[in-house]
Amino acid sequence: MNKVSLRSILSQLLLLLFVIIWILPTFGLFISSLRDKDLLAISGWWSALTTTNVNEIYRMQGMDEQNQADNYFIITDNLFKKNSGKKIETFGITSKKINEFKVGEVAIFKDKSTVTVNEDGLYIWKSENEFTKKKGKRLFITASSPPSFTFDNYKEVLFQEGIGQAFVNTIAVALPSTLIPLIICSYFAYALTWMQFFGRDTLLAIIIASLVVPLQMSLIPILTIYNDFGALFGVAAKSYPGVWMAHTGFGLASTTFLLRNFIKSLPNEMMEAAKVDGASHYDIFLRIIIPLSIPAFASIFILQFLWCWNDLLVGLVFLDQVPSEIILTAKLKELLGSRGENWEILTTGAFVSMTVPLFIFFALQRYFIRGLVAGSVKG
């Protein structure tokens, strides 16, 4: 085996390792979002794929459910929900000996009442004396639990916890915040590449220099400007137009820089031939640049959309945290504080927030790399 083939195999293995590292947490998050909240609290997501043994505590029915037959008072019911799939292996009547009895055996309480438990969860509690307590005694069981999944977590998150409304709000923020700078920068990048005007190189240098300005430094000044304009024209700064303009402003420099690199890589002869045929700059842009720049537009759309979708800071500053405006990241932050122990809520909400970015990426991924690397190599 030569060095080239060995190097190729090692690079493929390394790439496979990175793919596994990326996919495993996502897959685990998805599995966790489909699990019952009780099982999720006591075991990891990997245990959901195989049959596992679980220790659980149930309380039998009380005096209201008793019946009399053959000089005995009897209470009978099933510990499990219908079609749970669980099978009891052992049970106990005290916390110190939770595996004291096998299914079918008779356990005797201190008050001389007896209980038998079947494999499917059906129990029969018998006593010679009438039951007088509203709550029944506890049973400790060890059962085998097969893989089971439910969509109840998604119903709760989308319709009760407000994630559904936050999802719609985030689309209302991210889509215009992606399309507006993309449209503006397409004209701007063409002008910087193929049009001659005074100060073009200086303007390009300013754009490149603005890439190093941290987002956090400009948030408060921009919000102050928005407030001043809002007071002047009677428009609230904390609104959807405000956050659209904020995302547009923050994304103009990087979007223009990337798009210019792609447009600059297009053949100069094509532009010259179009000018000879009498095409104006507008005709060249509309009929040549746009069709040839689809990969660049797709890659920049993905980058800008993902940034807007996953943004928390800009959404907190430029939007009110009310149900009609709160975005997904801010809602998840809110749930993390109020429902931090409810893993089924957090994992489901997190996976809901990932669905649109994953769909956008896989739908446009064939253009993504081609658009990013275009213009990086000349010749």
At residue 78, the 3 state secondary structure works out as strand
- Predicted confidence at residue 377, as pLDDT, reads 47
Residue 10: inside a domain: yes
pLDDT in tens, 277-296: 888 888 888 888 888 888 88
- H-helix segments, 290-342: 290-292, 294-310, 313-318, 328-338
CB hemisphere CA count around 145 (13 angstroms): 23
Distance CA 125, CA 104 (A): 12
Are 350 and 256 in a shared domain? yes
Are 244 and 345 in a shared domain? yes
Phi-psi region at 121: left, alpha or beta (left = phi > 0; alpha = psi -120 to 50): left
Q: What are phi and psi of 59, to 5 degrees?
A: -115, 130
Distance CA 365, CA 150 (A): 31
Tokens of 139: 């049973």
Let me know: does 107 contact 115? Beta carbons within 8 Å.
Answer: yes
Are 224 and 345 in a shared domain? yes
Are 204 and 253 in a shared domain? yes
Residue 379: inside a domain: no
Tokens of 98: 């939770």
Distance CA 80, CA 99 (A): 18
Residue 286: inside a domain: yes
Are 214 and 363 in a shared domain? yes
Are 242 and 193 in a shared domain? yes
Are 99 and 202 in a shared domain? no
Burial of 269 (0-12, 13-18, 19+ CB in 10 A): exposed
Distance CA 7, CA 225 (A): 56
Residue 341: inside a domain: yes
- Predicted confidence at residue 234, as pLDDT, reads 56
Q: What share of the chain is helix, strand, coil (3-state, %, to 5)?
A: 60, 15, 25
H or E segment and range at residue 245? helix 240-264
- Predicted confidence at residue 123, as pLDDT, reads 92
pLDDT in tens, 244-265: 888 888 888 888 888 888 888 8
Indicate if the pLDDT at residue 150 is higher than 60: yes
Are 176 and 118 in a shared domain? no
Domain end marker among 91, 123, 146: 146
Are 244 and 322 in a shared domain? yes
Q: Could you tell me how many helices (H) and strands (E) the chain has, helices first?
A: 14, 9
CB hemisphere CA count around 221 (13 angstroms): 7
Instruction: State the pairing for strand pair 87-92/52-59.
Output: unpaired
Mention every residue, 6+ apart, whose C-beta is less than 8 A from residue 377.
none
Domain end marker among 124, 146, 168: 146
Residue 306: inside a domain: yes
Are 87 and 234 in a shared domain? no
Residue 106's DSSP bridge partners are: 116
Indicate if the pLDDT at residue 231 is higher than 90: no
* Average pLDDT for 319-327: 83
Nearest Cα residue to 106 out of 120, 127, 130? 127
Are 104 and 7 in a shared domain? no
**Can you point out the beta strands (E) in 231-316?**
none
Tokens of 373: 């690397």
Let me know: does 142 contact 88? Beta carbons within 8 Å.
Answer: yes
Q: What is the CATH number of the domain that holds 309?
A: 1.10.3720.10
Cβ-based neighbour number of residue 307 at 10 Å: 18
Number of structural domains in the chain: 3
- Predicted confidence at residue 147, as pLDDT, reads 80
pLDDT in tens, 41-75: 777 778 777 787 888 889 999 888 889 888 889 99
pLDDT in tens, 75-128: 999 988 776 778 898 999 988 888 889 988 999 998 889 999 998 889 999 998
Residue 185's DSSP bridge partners are: none
H or E segment and range at residue 69? strand 67-69
Residue 378: inside a domain: no
Q: What are phi and psi of 326, to 5 degrees?
A: -65, 135
Tokens of 73: 């008072």
At residue 143, the 3 state secondary structure works out as strand
Confidence of residue 140 (pLDDT cuts 50, 70, 90): very high
Are 168 and 231 in a shared domain? yes
Tokens of 254: 């990087």
Domain end marker among 111, 130, 146: 146
Residue 28: inside a domain: yes
Residue numbers of the domain that contains 349? 154-373
Burial of 83 (0-12, 13-18, 19+ CB in 10 A): exposed
Return the residue matching tokens 């759309």: 301
